[in-house]
């Protein structure tokens, strides 16, 4: 902790600048770091108010007993980040699809392609614009059927979304669900 010779305390911003200047004596870099910090805080605030508007009362509050318990804080932030990203996925046109799966109509090789995520090139009659309720059900199915850490799920979904956006109109990456609520997603190695 810094000790001061003065009878007043510096504001939070100046105290942060002073601390960073002792570690990194480049004022332009410090301004950039502080700007990133402010942007991150603004994004957290906007996403919170986007998820929980003022007219909706949320039940319960979480008050950390030990403020240095980073695991709880990080976990809550990761869940919030995944929820915001899931809303973005639901709004993306063509990313989430549905189809009717008839196992008898496919060969062994085609079933293997479908299982490993290449269902778009094998399955006919894909509904690329399902209802909003169906898209929400698919996202909920992802949460319940994929067993991994929240951060890993976020990274995998982000990578899948990035690959979908950069496929330049060719629908080779996407998320689908059949009539039996089986999830079909390509495996994306991050």
DSSP labels, the chain: ----SSSS---HHHHHHHHHHHH---HHHHHHHHHHHHHHHHHHHHHHHHHS-TTSPPP-----SSTT-HHHHHHHHHHHHHHHHHHHHHHSTTTEEE----GGGS-HHHHHHHHTT--TTT-SS-BSS--HHHHHHHHHHHHHH--S-HHHHHHHHHHHHHHHHTTTT---S-EEE-TT--EE------
Confidence check: pLDDT of 58 > 50: no
> pTM for this one?
0.57
* Among candidate residues 184, 48, 22, the one with its CA nearest the CA of residue 115: 184
* Over residues 86-100, mean pLDDT: 85
Q: How far apart are CA 122 and CA 169, in angstroms?
A: 18
Q: Among the listed ranges 56-65, 88-97, 118-127, 135-144, which one has the minimum average pLDDT value?
A: 56-65
For position 10, what pLDDT does the model report? 62
* Over residues 54-70, mean pLDDT: 49
Confidence check: pLDDT of 163 > 60: yes
Tell me what percent of the residues of the chain surpass a pLDDT of 90.
0
CB count in 10 Å sphere of residue 45: 10
**β partners of residue 183:** 177
* Over residues 151-165, mean pLDDT: 84
What is the average pLDDT score of the chain?
75
Contact 160, 175 (CB under 8 A): yes
For position 59, what pLDDT does the model report? 39
* Token pair recorded at residue 11: 């504001």
For position 47, what pLDDT does the model report? 64
């Amino acid at each position: 902790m810094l000790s001061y010779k003065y009878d007043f305390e510096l504001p939070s911003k100046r105290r942060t600048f002073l601390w960073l200047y002792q570690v990194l004596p480049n004022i332009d870099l410090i301004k950039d770091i502080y700007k990133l910090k402010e942007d991150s805080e603004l994004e957290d605030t906007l996403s919170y108010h986007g998820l929980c508007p003022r007219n909706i009362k949320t039940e319960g509050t979480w008050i950390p007993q030990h403020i240095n318990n980073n695991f709880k804080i990080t976990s809550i932030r990761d869940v919030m980040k995944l929820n915001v990203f899931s809303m973005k996925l639901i709004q993306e046109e063509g990313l989430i699809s549905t189809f009717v799966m008839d196992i008898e109509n496919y060969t062994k090789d085609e079933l293997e392609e479908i299982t490993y995520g290449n269902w778009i090139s094998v399955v006919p009659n894909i509904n690329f614009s399902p209802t909003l309720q169906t898209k929400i059900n698919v996202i909920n199915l992802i949460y319940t059927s994929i067993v991994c850490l929240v951060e890993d799920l976020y990274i995998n979904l982000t990578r899948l979304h990035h690959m979908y956006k950069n496929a330049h109109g060719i629908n080779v990456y996407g998320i689908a669900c059949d009539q039996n609520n089986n999830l079909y997603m390509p495996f994306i190695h991050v």
